[in-house]
Structure 1
């Protein structure tokens, strides 16, 4: 939508636009408003009005204009800023406008769920065909080379162990749980996380004496649970803060003789293993390196070995349309991240390895409930988040991130899968 004129020059928000105070040093692109000309804002407004009129939403602008067929409400406090950001930065601008407090929604998840459900047809086909002209490209600095991956992972996972502990349950598990029924309840979240972990360990047939490679340690719960079964676990992570806490938990559990946690890239893995487990790590690999990732699994598994993966997925055509686009999530939450499709995973396994996709099961609604519990906990503990030094803009960013993710699963735009990959041969 910004192709009608050169790249705009950013300018500081005026007082009337600065609905939330923003630290320009920490959040330069939120604290400044792009200088979008009247034609850019007019085209943006026309495109948005066309889309919003057909959606089950109520979008109320500051001048009293209301669009939509009815449903979850969005209140746009500053129409000029809202249109300027979207007109120059698309969905990145939409997210930055929320971070700046220029729009709000009483039911943020509900509003974002409607938008996610219509993601494929919000922009007219004529503009979709011009996507490469107006969509921002992924920065070269965020490529998931070994050095780039370390930087990308640190950006998110080294924020603060204390921050994550505020909204995760006592298992410190940061991936989809598997519940027995809905609605999910916080008191059952830890058990639901153990249920998810046990399903993966069962898929990989992890038991006494199993040599297990884990790619992506998190804070160590899966390694602890595998070691408690009698497995010998080598776990790899790129997050120094996660490794420190995971090692402490391993020592406290008395399992240091069975668990080794290494600050190492998956491409640096050595040795061979009876089983491999990797939970929601492929989203940080990047399409360029998917073949390398799956070849690593193949090379590290013994004949007859089994790999159990958990992966967030999205529709294949949407993945193809957005795989080179720089997104709000990549800019602020997961730099270098890309969610694959089930088709992309299965084609990569087929074309680049001797592994076979033996089983796959999706459970997206369980992730929506997991995210709801995290989001509610994060909101309830906003004062404690602030006490850790995270400002209001950060808290709005994370509220949007958790709600945006939950909406993806509630709309069906996103799913989460557990895969079993097997390698022919006879296990030892």
Structure 2
């Protein structure tokens, strides 16, 4: 292995501090370099001169790519092996050019562990200082159509139950005239739209599970709902309580910390009118998603509503591309990270719950713009983030994952959706 870089702590960043160094690794690196150059030429990316779109400062980059594919490219950026004036443009053009470096055998996956984005970090890239989720801007125009969706229930197509059902699909047109100052309102508009989809009004008893922060509970409380917000992160719970106090929210919001990342039952004596979550489904992994849906099903009252916002893949091929391109998320942020398709989300609820998803709102073009604004906001606050204890490697990690997400949205590989639905059959009364 090559010697660790002086400015990178090898204890915290072992795979960033050191790179493969052997005769075989260098032979593979030459091939990786040639493939990278071909991809850049196809993407019309300039590599040299004053007009260069990206600059490679260290040949170690190609050792990393040869070893770990897209993850190696990400770790090269984290190490400072390469840079770009507009990283999102570079990644978008590489993705659209079909660049697909092969991943190595390195194990980077694991079960959902309840990891949350540090509240101190969220403050430096969000519009309101507490929201990490995506955006719906005011300038987008929604259009709606009713489409037939395959049913995945055990009796679908038999015993008189239809093999498909109808879903109301809303799609937002691209936003216009967006500025960085619009980020806060766009994040709040996404939450407000999700609350509408889950039919949360005065008197609604809501479970925010797992909670993504204070934004949704605050918005729901202003509708005079009662909210239980569940998290496994002590730090997030503390930050939420501080935000709730600053927002002068009364006792309508209860924040609770659970030792388990996904408790099966949050409140043994509670049945909820609505269960909501913001951008958690892609962090849970296959086993976690099943557990999550079963937990919702166990606590949603008859006739209750569910609403969830998540990032999805446009198709199964897109899911595989996103898995490879976003391997850095599994390696350093969320070990169970996995992006699935809309059909897989419907199948998940049909198979593991008595909940039928009946509507979905697509806003991927808005989400991509929001990612750009979040990245630009963060890039403008790098000194503040450093003062909070986030070292240079972590700061570049966060920039890369935001830019790669944006690139996959711009390439049409990813989309953002709000799903909503309700219970579809009567269930036996639950003991209290």
TM bucket normalised to smaller: 0.7 to 0.9
Is 1:116 paired with 2:88?
no
* Cα separation, 2, equivalents of 1:304 and 1:25: 52
Structure 2 counterpart SS, 1:11:
coil
- With over 3 angstroms needed to count, the CA separation of the structure-2 counterparts of 1:326 and 1:251, relative to structure 1, is closer
Q: TM-score, normalised by structure 1?
A: 0.82
CA contact (8 A) 2:45 2:53 kept: yes
Distance 1:137 1:344, change over 3 A: farther
CA distance in 1, matches of 2:336, 2:196: 31
2:86 pairs with 1:107: yes
Structure 1 residues 117 and 163, CA gap change in structure 2 (3 angstroms): same
Matches of 1:36 and 1:344 in 2, distance apart?
43
1:267 aligned to 2:263? yes
| Residue 333 of structure 1, CA deviation | 2.6
Q: Distance in 1 between matches of 2:371 and 2:301?
A: 36
Alpha-carbon offset, residue 323 of structure 1: 5.8
Aligned counterparts of 1:248 and 1:391: Cα–Cα separation in 2: 25
Distance 1:187 1:46, change over 3 A: closer
- 2:308/2:419 contact within 8 Å kept: yes
Matches within 5 A, 1:18-57: 21-37=7-23, 38-57=26-45
In structure 1, runs of 5+ residues without a counterpart are: 1-9
- 1:235, distance to aligned residue in structure 2 (A): 1.1
The 3 A distance-change label for structure 1 pair 227 and 326 is: closer
Structure 1 distance, partners of 2:323, 2:253, is 36
Aligned-partner Cα distance in 1 for 2:342–2:205: 28
Structure 1 residues 33, 366: CA separation in 2 closer, same or farther (over 3 Å shift)? same
SS in structure 2 at match of 1:308 = strand
Correspondence 1:234 to 2:228: yes
Are 2:126 and 1:168 aligned?
Answer: yes
Of the three residues 192, 195, 199, the one matched with 1:201 is 195
TM-superposition CA deviations, 1:30-53 (whole Å, max 9, x none): 121211423222332343344343
Name the counterpart of 2:430. none
Task: Indicate conservation of the 8 Å contact 2:122/2:129, yes or no.
Answer: no
In structure 2, the CA distance between the partners of 1:221 and 1:123, relative to structure 1 (3 Å rule), is closer
| Cα distance in structure 2, aligned partners of 1:46 and 1:379 | 31
Structure 2 spans left out of the alignment, 5+ residues: 140-175, 428-432
Matched with 1:292 is 291
Q: Is the helix fraction higher in 1 or 2? A: 1
Q: Secondary structure at the match of 2:19?
A: strand
Could you list the per-position Cα deviations for residues 123-156 of structure 1 after superposition, in whole angstroms to 9, with x for gaps in the alignment? 49xx7xxx7xx443444xx312xxxx13xx1xx5
**Larger deviation: 227-236 or 212-221?**
212-221
Q: RMSD of the TM alignment (CA)?
A: 2.7
Show the counterpart of 2:307: 308
Q: Give 3-state SS (helix, strand or coil) of 1:34's partner.
A: coil
Alignment partner for residue 216 of structure 1, among 196, 205, 210? 210
* SS of residue matched to 1:58: coil
How far is 1:254 from its partner?
A: 4.2
Kept in 2, the 8 Å contact 1:176–1:193? The answer is yes
Conservation of the 8 A alpha-carbon contact between 1:72 and 1:107: no
Q: Given the superposition, is the C-alpha separation of residues 236 and 407 from structure 1 closer, same or farther in structure 2, using an over 3 Å criterion?
A: same
Contact map agreement 2:212 2:279 (CA 8 A) in 1: no
Name the TM-score, length of structure 2 as normaliser: 0.81
**Which residue in the other structure is 1:6 paired with?**
none
Q: Give the drift of 1:252.
A: 4.0
Counterparts of 2:355 and 2:239, CA distance in 1: 33
In the alignment, the residues of structure 2 paired with residue 316 and residue 207 of structure 1 have an alpha-carbon distance, to the nearest angstrom, of 36
Q: CA deviation at 1:104?
A: 1.2
Secondary structure of the structure 1 residue equivalent to 2:401: helix
Distance 1:326 1:390, change over 3 A: closer
**Secondary structure of the structure 2 residue equivalent to 1:23:** coil
1:78 match: 58
Q: Is the 8 A contact 2:226 2:253 kept in 1?
A: yes
Q: How does 1:339-350 map to 2 (within 5 A)?
A: 339-350=339-350
* Cross-structure match for 1:89: 68
Q: Give the number of equivalent residue pairs.
A: 384
Q: Are the counterparts in 2 of residues 203 and 420 from structure 1 also a CA contact under 8 Å?
A: yes
